[in-house]
A = this chain, B = another copy of it.
């Protein structure tokens, strides 16, 4: 049994040996996703999709609570529409897929498969919006999008991916900015309270902003290899798309005005972020709030366990289900308890509940935490309450662990020499003053591979000097090597 477990875990490369291989090993062994016969496209397997469904629900609840409604727009965008917003087409045209034939005929105008939907939604907004009374429009779409990628990675960067994209139109610039920041806040809330993943929320630099936006904000998480990952973006589009797609309304003063727009998105990439924030050498560590199974019950097959242990395990399962806990009873004959322990650790189930003949004698069960591996014998009576408390504790503990990791890996650099040194190895975030020029930003990137992740809203740089050029700095920014 011990041997089997050993063999099992060996299939996963240790993080310290090769983080990137560790990641792929975990994704595939835990059956989160698989490669497909289509280049750059992945299959999201049921276990991975179940995590995504829980993330979706967490987001969708908050979208609805903030007044948004869901809708669905076409997958295809006629080429002429994509071309309307100059920056947008420049940003996206090189990475789109083209449909040139439908049925048995060549198309007169080729269609782009949406890389994002501003162009098609803007066209519809122009049709729907007449007066200030029609505003705001607060729409979200759950959809697949396609961006032709050269180098792909399961969940993190694939040619097709699933996401949500919010698109809104407002009467005033101030309302659009407020909406942009509100949705950034929703992303931060979901990241921190559902995914247990601390993030820095802030504004992107000009060079990193969305093609066509006035301002882009992002949340940035830190992966266990010290690289940052952009986990959600929120764009204030200004009037750029309104002008390109002629989205005008009669204002309260009867004048004709362009609407102010926003768009914001988060994707299946979040599943990858969760894996790399919490996982360890035994596999996944899932935050209870988005774990498809929060508890796995493993009955210990001793003696006539099918008559003695299994009925109690079933009662426990029913009691936990009843208490709203997502629970799986692994009563498979073909596998030993040891094999099951390793399997469900690999799959990141937050709590394991073991029950055998001795436990029944003692009216207890054994609970094992995935995060700390702590083992607790607890009374069978009231086990649902104990489980609920423990799940909350696991949720909090892994957030705090991730937060400590980020704190340990966020440094301030006072000289460029120091800055470059930090950025070797597994650096994390480096907070440093920046002069605000694209030249310095580009040079830093080519010299260190680090990019500006974002600029925190609450930090000025009184008297600071640019880490690269030593001119007076305009702002402190987070640098990191990023996914």
Cβ-based interface call for A102 (8 A)? yes
- Complex: how many Å from CA A123 to CA B36? 9
How many chain A residues touch B (Cβ–Cβ < 8 Å)?
A: 55
Are the CB atoms of B46 and A71 closer together than 8 Å? yes
- Complex: how many Å from CA A77 to CA B75? 16
Are the CB atoms of A72 and B43 closer together than 8 Å? yes
- CB-defined contacts of A52 to chain B, threshold 8 Å: 72
Q: Which of A75, A110, A144, A159 has the most CB of B within 10 A?
A: A75
Knowing A49-B72, A70-B50 are in contact, say whether A37-B120 is a contact too (CB < 8 A): yes
Give the contacting residue for A70; candidates B37, B49, B99; CB below 8 A.
B49
Type the 1/0 row for A359-375, where 1 means its CB is closer than 8 Å to any CB of B: 00000000000000000
Cβ-based interface call for A78 (8 A)? yes
Are the CB atoms of B46 and A139 closer together than 8 Å? yes
- CB-defined contacts of A221 to chain B, threshold 8 Å: none
Cβ-based interface call for A34 (8 A)? yes
- CB-defined contacts of A43 to chain B, threshold 8 Å: 71-74, 124
* A134-154, CB < 8 A from B: 139, 143-144, 146, 148, 150
Q: Which of A73, A81, A143 has the most CB of B within 10 A?
A: A73
- CB-defined contacts of A69 to chain B, threshold 8 Å: 46, 49-50
- CB-defined contacts of A73 to chain B, threshold 8 Å: 36, 43-44
- CB-defined contacts of A144 to chain B, threshold 8 Å: 75, 143-144
Question: How many monomers of this chain does the complex have?
Answer: 2
Are the CB atoms of B160 and A74 closer together than 8 Å? yes
Are the CB atoms of B97 and A97 closer together than 8 Å? no
- Complex: how many Å from CA A95 to CA B37? 22
Type the 1/0 row for A200-242, where 1 means its CB is closer than 8 Å to any CB of B: 0000000000000000000000000000000000000000000
Are the CB atoms of B76 and A160 closer together than 8 Å? yes
- CB-defined contacts of A70 to chain B, threshold 8 Å: 46, 49-50, 53
Are the CB atoms of A34 and B124 closer together than 8 Å? yes
Cβ-based interface call for A325 (8 A)? no
Are the CB atoms of A74 and B120 closer together than 8 Å? no
Are the CB atoms of A36 and B124 closer together than 8 Å? yes
Cβ-based interface call for A252 (8 A)? no
Knowing A50-B70, A70-B46, A160-B76 are in contact, say whether A102-B148 is a contact too (CB < 8 A): yes
- CB-defined contacts of A176 to chain B, threshold 8 Å: none
Are the CB atoms of B133 and A75 closer together than 8 Å? no
- CB-defined contacts of A127 to chain B, threshold 8 Å: 34
Cβ-based interface call for A104 (8 A)? yes
Knowing A99-B99, A102-B98, A148-B102 are in contact, say whether A38-B113 is a contact too (CB < 8 A): no
Q: Which of A37, A123, A159 has the most CB of B within 10 A?
A: A37
- Complex: how many Å from CA A75 to CA B97? 12
Are the CB atoms of B38 and A74 closer together than 8 Å? yes
Are the CB atoms of A38 and B160 closer together than 8 Å? no
9 contacts between A and B (CB under 8 A): A36-B74, A38-B76, A41-B75, A43-B71, A49-B71, A52-B72, A95-B103, A98-B100, A144-B144
- A46-B139, A49-B72, A99-B100 are known; give 15 further A-B pairs, CB within 8 A: A36-B73, A36-B123, A37-B78, A38-B74, A38-B78, A41-B76, A43-B71, A43-B73, A43-B74, A49-B70, A50-B69, A52-B72, A98-B99, A98-B102, A102-B159
